[in-house]
């Protein structure tokens, strides 16, 4: 790019053998097409839906489930001497159905995310005005090539990267590329000091930026992927898609569970083989494989997907569109938010905030004009020396001029009516060297000159000043006073623009128009912060999330905005691109945590910032709306694009899109993400805890009795029916608002972290209740039943079960009553205590945080009813579930079912009592060390509140 910057216009034309008058000839055009190609940017090829589906199927957790299905089929074949009976493979069918459901859900979610149109084709506007063969014509922008002569006018997008050859009052809005909110004045002159900063390349017009003012002619020097936009596109297309933190955690969790299940299966098989009848090894293998499958949470993949889907639907209603399911949890794990300034933290709309009038600074909201004459001259200067137009929602022109029109309209001055009444008869356009613009308007048959410009330059051409409507000679004290006021406003990043006027008879002498003027007033404007952004930043800080601002603006402007947002307070927290360029990646990583504002940055800087934060194990979110944000959006753990002002490129690169462009909405997403993750962890603690408790109880009873107390169908019914319904209902519960008061964990945050105590409670209490339930059931096994099934060898069921002389089938019949009560307990107990598995932030308050889950209570009672009902369904109870037939119930044993249900309450009650004791002890009987910590914390909080109060009072006094 340096050659184009430092070469003059004539050299550029000679390089491409083209003139401004003729443009490319047909022959040149053909040659250039062959040499350089056309201005077409290739987009990343999207995968076919079937490939997405296949990719979902081979994810680790689904692979484990498929293997489990195959193992269950083999186990059934072995136990049935390779006889194929369809009813024996119900468990495999259910597992496969769950795998397919999960893959289908992920495929549908991915396809939904493709509804947006091709990002770069949308950005590369279809029409360009060019000069070819000596004629001006309009062509599709995609047909441009190197050397084309392009004509730019206000209101047109730049169709390629251009070296400006001629220009008149040219201003281009480059905010989508550089992040700078104010349109940049462009020049056709060469730039001797070569620079890599896009915002300083004043003689280059970049593709997809917008011409706000003036006219220009430029030569195409870069097209397609060689443009700045194209480079960004290539970096996005070539970047590998990283797994989200949730995907990484679930994958690791799956491997651990798979290994554990294999170990448990082998352990149970070996134990039963050596303590039981070795001739029944096939039956023991079936038990080992069944319990091995029982450890694996078959329903977890579907539960995670459905929970995330429900959450994405809820988030969509709150203006957060999630493109990838797992991104919901990632958003909740974020502990660093890197945000663009323009349009994200600010309104992207210049607004008049202060006035310099009557030699003092006045707040526009409080100021009352004391003199109508003074006000009248000021309002006329605002709207007449101005080229912008507003018509309803339509706003055309420079943002600075639009701000002036907006302010005039507050005082009932309509720019269109004013210009119609007081017609412009002459003008001198704004010039970057003069830093002024002048118009001559006919008012009451007199020619009145209105001039606006930089206040320091304007005061040099003023000989008079208007104070309270009275015109007098301007003094050095007046000038010094206003320059002091100007300096004060500039330090707060306000852009100051002065206004002056005079009456003249003749405007033919252009050199005399901007002399002997009367200074009227000045306005100070800024792109103000969003009020919602201020609240959102505070909420982020309360949630332990760091927020840094990344902008293309100058450091002083960025710091002033950061102070308003309470992001930074002094210059040491600001890092400019010049200093950043002097650092290598390691140096940047060392100081990155101290920086709150990054100023004058280029796109590659943003990627470096994300990389530096990731070195510290932060979960990084990048928010933005411009093309310049796209690489960093893709690089960050979670990219958040703005839906209204955001470019399609940014939306394509992001994981999440905000439809209301409200920074506060991100915090809502974080809250939802944290709750989703908490619900998933609750579901995991429930599923794994119950599975391990069942396996432990069965392992103990199998070792003692040499036979499994439950059949494979009993375990699979529990895992695939009861657990699935309950775990899904857990994901439908209310959100816990206290989670936004918990600081996110920096670095690795394993999915099992914080769950071990919950596992221990479930395993201990449920195992004891299950084993106890089995023995209570066996009490009702009569001597007659044992004698009949052991050929009169044994009267004790315990001795019969431990004997190697009794067949496996007869042993199974002997323990019918024990199996019945144990089945009722393992299926009913989880339905009760699932409602008491609370992983909420119970340490934050002495108040018990009750989160009622209507869906969970309903599903719990329905599950219990179904579990009881199947006991009385003929054939299904005896042939499928291997439970007693209806004929086996007598007046002496029918209430076994009632006992089993009552026993099912014990684990839930025990957990509730234990949690109550812990909660009371923590809040009301703290140990001495923690008591001192609480007292110190109270003092710190009081000190923080006092400092904030003083700061607000100081700000109020300044205003």
- Residues labelled as active-site residues: 340
- Map 190-211 to HEC letters: CCCCCCCCHHHCCCEECCCCEE
Phi, psi of 125 (to 5 degrees): -60, 145
CA–CA separation, 689 vs 876, rounded Å? 28
Distance (Å, whole) CA 781 – CA 884: 12
Record the tokens describing residue 68, joined without a space. 């489990």
Distances (CA, A) of 309 to 163, 232, 545: 49, 31, 25
State whether residue 351 is helix, strand or coil: strand
**C-alpha torsion 528→532→537→540, nearest 10:** -160
Listed as own residue / partner, the contacts of 879-887 with beta carbons closer than 8 Å and 24 or more positions apart are: 880/87, 880/90, 880/713, 881/711, 881/713, 881/714, 881/717, 881/823, 882/711, 882/713, 882/714, 882/812, 882/819, 883/816, 883/819, 883/820, 883/823, 884/816, 884/817, 884/820
Classify residue 547 by burial, with Cβ atoms within 10 Å: 0-12, 13-18, 19+: buried
Is residue 162 within 8 Å of residue 219, measured between CB atoms?
yes
Angle between helical axes of 300-317 and 60-79 (0-180°, round to 10)? 150
Q: What contacts 223, CB < 8 A, 6 or more positions away?
A: 36, 37, 38, 39, 144, 145, 146, 160, 161, 230
Q: What residues are paired with 136 via a beta bridge?
A: 131
The enclosing H or E element of 352 equals strand 351-357
CA distances from 920 to 58, 215, 657, 756 (A): 47, 75, 43, 21
Task: Give the number of other CB atoms < 10 A from CB of residue 51.
Answer: 11
Which residues, in sequence order, are CB contacts of 41 under 8 Å at separation 6+? Answer: 120, 121, 124, 224, 225, 227, 229, 230, 233
Task: Please tell me the distance from the alpha carbon of residue 899 to that of residue 908, in angstroms, as a whole number.
Answer: 16
C-alpha pair distances (Å), 291 with each of 272, 525, 789, 808: 13, 71, 27, 18
């Amino acid at each position: 790019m340096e050659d184009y910057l430092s070469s003059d216009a004539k050299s550029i034309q000679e390089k491409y053998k083209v003139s401004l008058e003729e443009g490319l000839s047909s022959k040149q055009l053909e040659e250039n097409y062959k040499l350089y190609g056309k201005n077409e940017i290739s987009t990343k090829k999207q995968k076919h839906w079937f490939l997405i589906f296949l990719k979902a199927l081979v994810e680790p957790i689904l692979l484990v489930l498929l293997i489990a299905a195959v193992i269950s089929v083999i186990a059934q074949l072995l136990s049935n001497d390779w006889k194929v009976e369809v009813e024996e493979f119900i468990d495999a069918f259910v597992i496969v159905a769950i795998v397919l459901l999960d893959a289908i859900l992920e495929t549908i979610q991915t396809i939904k995310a493709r509804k947006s149109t091709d990002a770069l084709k949308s950005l590369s506007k279809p029409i360009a005005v060019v000069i070819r063969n000596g004629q001006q014509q309009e062509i599709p922008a995609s047909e441009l090539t190197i050397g084309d002569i392009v004509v730019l006018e206000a209101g047109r997008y730049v169709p390629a990267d251009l070296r400006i050859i001629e220009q008149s009052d040219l201003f281009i809005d480059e905010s989508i590329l550089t992040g700078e909110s104010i349109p940049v004045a462009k020049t056709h002159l060469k730039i001797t000091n070569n620079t890599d900063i896009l915002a300083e390349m004043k003689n280059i017009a970049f593709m997809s930026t917008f011409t706000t003012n003036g006219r220009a002619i430029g030569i195409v020097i870069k097209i397609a992927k060689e443009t700045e936009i194209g480079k960004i596109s290539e970096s996005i297309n070539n970047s590998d898609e990283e797994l989200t933190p949730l995907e990484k955690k679930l994958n690791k969790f799956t491997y651990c569970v798979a290994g554990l299940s294999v170990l448990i299966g082998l352990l149970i098989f070996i134990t039963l083989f050596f303590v039981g009848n070795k001739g029944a090894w096939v039956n023991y293998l079936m038990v080992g494989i069944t319990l091995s499958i029982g450890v694996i949470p078959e329903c977890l993949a579907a539960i995670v997907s459905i929970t995330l889907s429900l959450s994405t639907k809820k988030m969509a209603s709150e203006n957060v569109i999630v493109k990838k399911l797992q991104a919901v949890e990632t958003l909740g794990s974020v502990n660093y938010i890197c945000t663009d300034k323009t349009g994200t933290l600010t309104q992207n709309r210049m607004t008049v905030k202060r006035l310099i009038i009557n030699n003092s600074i006045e707040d526009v909201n409080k100021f009352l004009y004391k003199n109508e004459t003074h006000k009248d001259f000021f309002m006329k200067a605002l709207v007449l020396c101005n080229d912008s137009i507003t018509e309803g929602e339509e706003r055309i022109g420079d943002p600075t001029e639009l701000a002036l029109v907006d302010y005039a309209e507050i005082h009932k001055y309509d720019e269109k009516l004013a210009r119609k009444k007081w017609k412009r008869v002459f003008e001198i356009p704004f010039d970057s060297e003069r830093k002024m613009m002048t118009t001559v308007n006919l008012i009451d048959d007199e020619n009145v000159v209105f001039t606006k410009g930089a206040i320091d330059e304007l005061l040099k051409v003023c000989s008079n000043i208007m104070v309270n409507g009275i015109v007098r000679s301007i003094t050095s004290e007046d000038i010094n006073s206003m320059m002091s006021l100007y300096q004060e406003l500039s330090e707060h990043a306000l852009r100051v623009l002065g206004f002056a006027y005079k009456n003249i008879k003749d405007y033919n002498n252009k050199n005399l128009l901007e002399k002997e003027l009367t200074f009227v007033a000045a306005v100070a404007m800024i792109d103000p912060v969003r009020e919602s952004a201020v609240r959102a930043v505070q909420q982020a800080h309360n949630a332990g999330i760091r927020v840094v601002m990344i902008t293309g603006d100058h450091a002083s402007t960025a710091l002033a905005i950061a102070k308003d947002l309470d992001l930074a307070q002094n210059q040491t927290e600001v890092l400019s691109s010049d200093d950043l360029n002097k650092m290598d990646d390691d140096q940047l990583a060392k100081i990155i945590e101290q920086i709150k504002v990054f100023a004058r940055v280029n796109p590659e800087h943003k990627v470096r910032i994300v990389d530096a934060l990731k070195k510290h194990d932060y979960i990084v979110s990048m928010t933005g709306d411009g093309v310049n944000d796209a690489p960093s959006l893709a690089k960050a753990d979670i990219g958040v694009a703005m839906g209204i002002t955001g470019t399609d490129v940014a939306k394509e690169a992001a994981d999440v899109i905000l439809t209301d462009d409200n920074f506060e909405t991100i915090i809502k997403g974080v809250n939802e993400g944290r709750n989703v993750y908490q619900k998933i962890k609750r579901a995991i603690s429930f599923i794994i805890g119950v599975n391990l408790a069942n396996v432990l109880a069965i392992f103990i009873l199998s070792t003692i009795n040499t036979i499994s107390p439950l059949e494979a169908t009993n375990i699979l019914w529990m895992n695939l029916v009861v657990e699935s319904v309950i775990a899904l209902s857990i994901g439908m519960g209310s959100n816990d608002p206290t989670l936004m008061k918990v600081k996110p964990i920096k670095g690795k945050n394993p999915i099992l972290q914080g769950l071990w105590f919950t596992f221990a409670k479930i395993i201990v209490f449920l195992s004891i209740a299950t084993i106890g339930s089995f023995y209570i059931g066996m009490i009702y096994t009569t001597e007659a039943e044992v004698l009949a099934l052991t050929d009169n060898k044994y009267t004790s069921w315990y001795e019969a079960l431990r004997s190697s002389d009794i067949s496996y089938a007869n042993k199974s019949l002997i323990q019918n009553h024990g199996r019945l009560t144990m089945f009722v307990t393992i299926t009913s107990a989880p339905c009760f205590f699932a409602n008491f598995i609370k992983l909420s932030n119970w340490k934050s308050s002495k108040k018990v945080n009750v989160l009622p889950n209507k869906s969970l209570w309903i599903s719990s009672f329905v599950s219990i009813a179904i579990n009881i009902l199947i006991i009385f369904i003929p054939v299904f109870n005896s042939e499928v579930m291997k439970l007693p037939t209806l004929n086996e119930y007598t007046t002496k044993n029918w209430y076994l079912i009632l006992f089993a249900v009552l026993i099912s309450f014990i684990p839930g009650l025990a957990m509730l009592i234990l949690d109550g004791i812990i909660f009371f002890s923590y809040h009301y009987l703290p140990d001495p060390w923690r008591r001192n910590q609480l007292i110190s914390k109270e003092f710190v909080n009081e000190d923080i509140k006092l400092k904030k109060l003083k700061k607000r009072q100081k700000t109020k006094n300044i205003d």
